[in-house]
Amino acid sequence: EFEPGLAASWQTSKDGLTWTFELQKNVKFHDGTAFDAAAVVYNFQRFIGPEKAKTGWAMFGELVKNVEAVGPTTVKMTLARPHAFFPNLLAHPAATMCSPTAHKKYGKDLALNPVGTGPFKFSEWVKGDRLVLDANESYWRGRPYLDKIICKPVKEDNTRVMQLQSGQLHVAPLVPHEAIPSLDKNRNIDVTRRLSNMALKVTFNNLKKPFDNRLVRQALNYAVDKDAIAKHLYGGYAVPVPGVLSSVLVGWGDERGYTYNPALAKELLAKAGYPKGFTSTLWTTSSGIIPKDVALAETIQQYWAEVGVQVKIEKMEWAAMLNECRLPPESNRSEAFLQKDNQSSGEVSDALAQMCMKRYFPPAGRNRAFYSNPVVEELIVQGTSSMEVKSRDAYMRAAQVIINEDAPWVPLVTPMLIWAHSTKVHNMVYSPLTHTFATEKTWIEK
């Protein structure tokens, strides 16, 4: 559900092409710059202008035709076509409003010097040690209860849990499920569990043999027991995902999915011309950024070996793997790799477009499977253009059914997100988008 934020209210024309927003009044950025209609226009000129277009910025560039200030705190946006999920896109982190003054000052270094309007403002960053945020004394919703937030990177799961138990940390995200029994016994700690929007999968390079053969891709789907992965590898703190996306997203289609059927997998491989299987390489991270990454890759390796497909696992740093996957088809080495999809717009259309449309082949976008189906593309366009919910969802579900049949990847599980915090901490916000927030209403007992 949408709640007013910097946009106090909004309305759309009957044809869905014009959106008008009334902004909160008397809001300032952390550097004192006024947040007003002119500031919104400035930010969207960045989003849809050449600065972003050169790097494949697609969320707004092809959709938003014009943004204009029609009053000091009134903004009108004109779209190239109706978009059923436009409010979701505006709630996406990509639409974050930054100070025009700060952008002019820092340019490309703005990410290292963020200036927003929120309840906490950037104070200090010591790489590898801490990020410090101070209370925004003039926050428009009222001065935050907390004076300061210190974010510390603690990569090791067990270390993070021990520091929480000893009182060195007040909040710990991404808690491993193995720690839940001991944490539940601790009267000073509360544990929050929530299904995430994260879908884990093995992505195939659909342009490379043998993954250019749909029968091969389908076979490798049937070869994997997702229920067993959810139960044993993730301790039951995950649910099998039948399709490409997490079920928490708006517009998600309840698909049939692939059952565990190794006999059928072998049959399909033989039909595809690989009766004795084949060899391939599976890339994975090893830092835990994909939950249970190495163990998950090894599990996939074992399942595929049972149907004759021998996989060599290659461990890579997350950034290095992404860089390799972002290369254009002619220089892209990927064959199969573990991937996670966190759809921060909370709906399906942006993910489906980015992952399934040919124009988003790397390096222009994140269709890293190099998957293309004109029927799917038309369904996505029709779905996003429909302002009526039932029609919109019907198109989206139809697209997801075809994608599932084409099997450009092996959907695996959606893990639950597990946070633990001191019982002294109140009103933290834990988002299924995998984010952790302290708001102006967050407070801590002394």
Q: What pLDDT does 58 receive?
A: 62
Nearest in space to 195 (alpha carbons), one of 259, 240, 242: 240
Interatomic CA distance for residues 59 and 433, integer angstroms: 18
Both tokens assigned to 436: 């952790």
Both tokens assigned to 39: 């500031």
Nearest in space to 217 (alpha carbons), one of 227, 230, 205: 205
Interatomic CA distance for residues 26 and 13, integer angstroms: 27
Q: What pLDDT does 339 receive?
A: 92
Q: pLDDT under 70 in the chain at which residues?
A: 50-58, 254-255
Single pTM value for the model: 0.83
Q: Render pLDDT for 404-445 as a digit per residue (tens, 0 to 9).
A: 999 999 999 988 889 999 999 999 998 877 788 999 999 999
Nearest in space to 380 (alpha carbons), one of 62, 112, 156: 62
Q: What pLDDT does 183 receive?
A: 94
Q: What pLDDT does 167 receive?
A: 93
Q: Phi-psi bin for 308: left (phi > 0), alpha (psi -120 to 50), beta?
A: left
Interatomic CA distance for residues 339 and 355, integer angstroms: 12
Q: Phi-psi bin for 347: left (phi > 0), alpha (psi -120 to 50), beta?
A: beta
CB 305 within 8 A of CB 315: no
Q: Render pLDDT for 252-289 as a digit per residue (tens, 0 to 9).
A: 776 678 999 999 999 999 999 999 999 999 999 988 78
Q: What pLDDT does 119 receive?
A: 97
Q: What pLDDT does 155 receive?
A: 82
Q: What pLDDT does 56 receive?
A: 41
Angle between helices 214-222 and 262-271 (to 10 degrees): 170
